[in-house]
Amino acid sequence: MLNGTAASDGIGIGRAMIIEEHSLDYTPKTITDTDAESQRFKNAVKIFCDNTTAQAEALRKSTGDKEAEILEGHIQIMRDPYMCGEIEKLISDGQCAEAALEHMCDMFITMFSAADDELTKQRASDVKDIKTSVLSILLGVNEVKISAAPKGTVIVAKELTPSMTAGINKENIVGIVTETGGKTSHSAILARALEIPAVLSVDGAAKKLSAGEQVIVDGNEGIVIASPEESQIEQYTQKRSAFLRERRELENYRGKKTLSASGEEYELFCNIGKPDDAISAMEFDGEGVGLFRTEFLFMDRNSVPTEDEQFEAYKKAVLILKGKPLIIRTLDVGGDKDLPYLGLKKEENPFMGYRAIRYCLDNRELFKTQIRAILRASAFGDIRIMFPLVTCVDELRAGKELVEKAKEELRESKINFNENIKIGVMMETSSAAVIADVLAKESDFFSIGTNDLTGYTMACDRGNSDVSYLYSALQPSVLRLIKNIIDCGIKNNIPVGMCGEAAANSMIIPLLISFGLTEFSVSAPSVLKVRKVISTWTKAEADKVAEKVMSMSTEKEIYDYLKTVI
Ligand code: PEP
Ligand code: MG
């Protein structure tokens, strides 16, 4: 079994086609007839542009505009006047077209690869792809024809370039395995758009798998099984049927509003951890982002990200969302989320300790830096601020004061931001839930974090298996607190959402509809499923279920009853 990055959902069972890189070696020559060489280069560029336009058109029909635009971008790069002009200059100095092309492309590849942000880095692989295609044309080497792959093919390649992907006939290709690429690489985006299961970054895949060998690609779990046993084929065939059945059904909910069966409309947002995750949120048809866990920006590095770094990250996410809301949760460190470079003390009781807004209010410069970055990004879209782990009004007031201070500084420096930015509270402690009436008077919105709310209410660590029998959002105490938070939101005219895992739980959804929740924020792959579940309930039916549930005394009773109604 080989492990990699689960990049496109689904199960594929087929025979491996190993895409080997063919040699593009050549011996550089000194050119005397530079006009003829320049014409040879121009012809190659024309063939490249014609081929790529045809591929983009095919892709536009099979998958959509966004994917075709990636290839059209290649034409723009190759036609870029600076790029072409420099290549022509090298040719007129006597270099052959191959060497001139390679020289310029390599220069751009080095430059783009050194960039910090993923999007610019991605441009390096675009230029590599262009270089290979134009060199193949100049050298008269035939590129591998994925378009000729027979039915039931699993493509195995070092890297899947956009132009290779464009040749894919989705009727024939059942899976993709590559040795490079992450969840947000072009290969991944295209594989998802084509709905082909894909596992990327599988170390040495092209060597470990052989041409014609039977292969199972599990794009849900990021697993590749070579030469599977009969029983594994049976097991995965069943998994595939169930997956396809559900996907077909869920597709009916794409592009639709999120409506209950009685017509009430809800907002259905996604939870994200990195700016690029906003791409998946949009791909999965999310209507915005209800929780951006910003601590991920602070992880895997040795120092606090600067204001500019954070600003770029928040701006990138909100631009990807194209006008849809982005709720940014300020830094939630401590507890189970340690950042070694902050030098946090080991605590006896980390979940009750120095974490989240408590830490931030005590480290005001770090907190203000984050708030300034969020405010600056708010000039580019609908950004809202949310404070984590609030337990009392004082914390909310102190947080809001700091926002005011940051606003003043930005005003003085004449930096744009949204003056009316909304500030909300993450309702995830039992204390906040009990004083929801008071907090609602000073908040613009609430978002219920059931992951922590359940833990704090049941005095039970979510990671401790010895007490996991208590950890359930269906506990009568937790449900009462959720209801109280929503009631107080309604009384004070502020919207109440939920970004904890319970928002995607089909047993809890009818209760949330009945209580009056207005926004659900879930992981991107759950969007269509939650939209479907919401659509099956009328408000009146949900009310009946909720009334019965709220009269019950134990979690087991509630669980057993809800099992019978969903
Ligand atoms: C929560 O507590 O419900 C939540 C969404 O936050 P996290 O899981 O990041 O603690
Ligand atoms: Mg939490």
**CB-based contacts of 496, cutoff 8 Å, min separation 6:** 427, 445, 446, 447, 448, 485, 486, 489, 490, 516, 517, 518, 519
CA distance 495 to 436: 13
Strands 198-200 and 5-8, by their bridges, are: antiparallel
Q: Spot the catalytic one: 96, 360, 488, 499.
A: 499
Residue at 435: amino acid letter: I
86 exposed, middle or buried (CB, 10 Å; 0-12, 13-18, 19+)? middle
**CB-based contacts of 409, cutoff 8 Å, min separation 6:** 372
Tokens of 126: 């675009």
Q: Spot the catalytic one: 74, 105, 186, 270.
A: 186
Q: Does residue 451's CB lie within 6 angstroms of at least one atom of ligand 1?
A: yes
CA distance 382 to 115: 28
CA distance 214 to 97: 42
CA distance 496 to 217: 40
Separation of first and last alpha carbons in the chain: 37
Phi-psi region of 441 (alpha: psi -120 to 50; beta: other; left: phi over 0): alpha
Q: Does residue 293's CB lie within 6 angstroms of at least one atom of ligand 1?
A: yes
What pLDDT, on a 0 to 100 scale, did the predictor assign at position 449?
97
**Closest-lying ligand to the alpha carbon of 451?**
1
What pLDDT, on a 0 to 100 scale, did the predictor assign at position 68?
80
Are the beta carbons of 287 and 258 closer than 8 angstroms? Answer: yes
What pLDDT, on a 0 to 100 scale, did the predictor assign at position 59?
74
CA distance 497 to 565: 24
Are the beta carbons of 195 and 173 closer than 8 angstroms? Answer: no
103 among known catalytic residues: no
74 among known catalytic residues: no
pTM of the entire predicted model: 0.71
432 exposed, middle or buried (CB, 10 Å; 0-12, 13-18, 19+)? buried
What pLDDT, on a 0 to 100 scale, did the predictor assign at position 565?
95
Q: Does residue 102's CB lie within 6 angstroms of at least one atom of ligand 1?
A: no
Q: Ligand 1 atom 8: the closest Cα is on which residue? A: 451
Nearest atom in ligand 1 to 291's CA: 5
Biggest CA pair distance of the chain: 92
Residues with pLDDT less than 50, the chain: none
**CA 5 from centroid of its chain's CA atoms:** 13
What pLDDT, on a 0 to 100 scale, did the predictor assign at position 457?
98
Per-residue pLDDT tens over the stretch 59-106: 777 667 777 888 888 999 999 889 899 999 999 999 999 999 999 999
CA distance 53 to 72: 7
Alpha helix locations (H) across 195-305? 205-208, 230-251, 277-283, 295-298
CA distance 292 to 271: 6
How many helices and strands, by DSSP H and E, does the chain display?
23, 17
What pLDDT, on a 0 to 100 scale, did the predictor assign at position 142?
65
Query: In terms of residues, how long is the chain?
Result: 566
Residue at 531: amino acid letter: R
Q: Which CATH class is domain 2-20+145-233?
A: alpha beta
Tokens of 396: 């909310």
User: Is CATH 1.10.274.10 the right assignment for the domain spanning 34-139?
Assistant: yes
Q: Does residue 329's CB lie within 6 angstroms of at least one atom of ligand 1?
A: no
Distances (CA, A) of 379 to 271, 354, 374, 404: 22, 32, 9, 16
In the three-class reduction of DSSP (H, G, I as helix; E, B as strand; rest coil), residue 16 is classed as strand
Domain 252-425+517-565, architecture per CATH: Alpha-Beta Barrel (3.20)
Q: Minimal CA–CA distance to 328: which of 423, 448, 208, 468? A: 423
Q: Does residue 489's CB lie within 6 angstroms of at least one atom of ligand 1?
A: no
- The torsion of the CA quartet 108, 111, 112, 114, rounded to 10 degrees, works out to 160
- Ligand 2 centroid – CA 449 distance (Å): 6
Are the beta carbons of 8 and 202 closer than 8 angstroms? Answer: no
What pLDDT, on a 0 to 100 scale, did the predictor assign at position 54?
80
Please give the angle made by the CA atoms of 205, 209 and 215, to the nearest 5 degrees: 105
Are the beta carbons of 356 and 365 closer than 8 angstroms? Answer: no
What pLDDT, on a 0 to 100 scale, did the predictor assign at position 184?
62
Q: Ligand 1 atom 3: the closest Cα is on which residue? A: 449
Distances (CA, A) of 177 to 282, 418, 543: 24, 45, 48
What pLDDT, on a 0 to 100 scale, did the predictor assign at position 143?
65
What is the number of alpha carbons within 13 Å of residue 27 lying toward its C-beta? 0
Nearest atom in ligand 1 to 451's CA: 3
- Residue extents of the structural domains in the chain: 2-20+145-233, 34-139, 252-425+517-565
Phi, psi (degrees; rounded to nearest 5) at 226 = -95, 145
Where is 2: in which H helix or E strand? strand 2-3
- Ligand 1 centroid – CA 426 distance (Å): 9
Are the beta carbons of 429 and 456 closer than 8 angstroms? Answer: yes
Residue at 466: amino acid letter: D
Per-residue pLDDT tens over the stretch 123-150: 888 898 899 889 988 988 766 678 778 8
